[in-house]
Every structure is written in structure tokens, then in C-alpha cells.
């Protein structure tokens, strides 16, 4: 059987459009349209924020106080040392970031510390 006798022949055609040197990509091209819109004021996806750090520490304190289930085990356990450490860390962050927070960040931090300290006192009185 010779190569000329083959009936099945594959032919590949490249249909991609190539950009010439003087052919610049258009603004608003498909790559921009395929991205979801970013809500105003939210920054880029995955952007870290100070308020997010405050919330993360506060949620670990709430779990340590037994007011929320542990995400790994699903059980509520009280660990007063861990809760006190998280609250102390938030207080330290309040001191060290003084003058460098926005009004919203300061309000969030103050409310979190106040709420967590009340919860901590309530839990220690019960035990």
C-alpha cells in the first residue's frame, strides 16, 4: 500500500486571525467583555483589605468563644485562651494602625472589639 492509495487524508486549516504590526487590538475587545463587571469600590478580585483582616480575626474569636461551630469539625468548643489572643490582636491592630484607617475601618474595628469583649466577659462569667 503506497501513500497515494490512502483515502483518509487529514487536512488542518488554521482559521485564527493573526494580528499584523499595524493592527492594534481594539479597546473593549472580547477579552474585556468576557470578564464579569467589578462592583464599584470593591477593588480587584482577591484584593486584601484591613476590614477583611478584622473580620477574619473576629470570626476566629467567635468560634473560640463557642458562639459559632468550628468550620472543620462542626462542633462548638470553648477555648478562652485562643479567644483572648484574637481579641488582644485586634486591640493591638487598633493601636498600631491609628491614623492609617478609613472611617469605616475604624468603626468596624471598634464595634468588633466591643462586641467580642462583651462576649468574652459573658462566657467567662458562665464558666
pLDDT along the chain (127 residues), means of 10: 62 70 52 43 65 95 95 92 97 96 95 97 93
Whether 10 is covered by a domain: the verdict is no
C-alpha cell at 97: 494602625
Q: Number of folded domains in the chain?
A: 1
Domain span including residue 96: 50-126
Whether 94 is covered by a domain: the verdict is yes
Whether 32 is covered by a domain: the verdict is no
C-alpha cell at 43: 477593588
Whether 75 is covered by a domain: the verdict is yes
Residue 43 and residue 65 in contact, taking contact as beta carbons nearer than 8 Å: no
Rounded distance, CA 107 to CA 25, Å?
Answer: 45
Whether 78 is covered by a domain: the verdict is yes
pLDDT at res. 13: 73
C-beta atoms surrounding 88 within 10 Å: 12
Whether 66 is covered by a domain: the verdict is yes
Rounded distance, CA 124 to CA 127, Å?
Answer: 5
Amino acid at each position: 500500500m503506497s501513500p497515494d492509495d490512502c483515502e483518509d487524508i487529514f487536512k488542518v486549516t488554521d482559521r485564527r486571525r493573526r494580528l499584523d504590526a499595524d493592527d492594534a487590538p481594539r479597546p473593549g475587545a472580547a477579552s474585556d467583555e468576557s470578564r464579569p463587571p467589578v462592583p464599584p469600590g470593591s477593588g480587584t478580585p482577591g484584593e486584601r483589605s484591613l476590614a477583611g483582616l478584622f473580620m477574619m480575626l473576629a470570626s476566629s474569636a467567635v468560634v473560640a468563644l463557642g458562639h459559632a461551630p468550628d468550620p472543620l469539625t462542626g462542633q462548638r468548643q470553648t477555648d478562652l485562651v485562643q479567644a483572648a489572643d484574637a481579641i488582644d490582636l485586634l486591640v493591638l491592630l487598633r493601636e498600631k494602625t491609628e491614623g492609617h484607617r478609613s472611617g469605616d475601618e475604624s468603626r468596624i474595628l471598634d464595634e468588633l472589639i466591643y462586641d467580642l469583649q462583651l462576649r468574652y466577659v459573658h462566657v467567662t462569667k458562665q464558666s
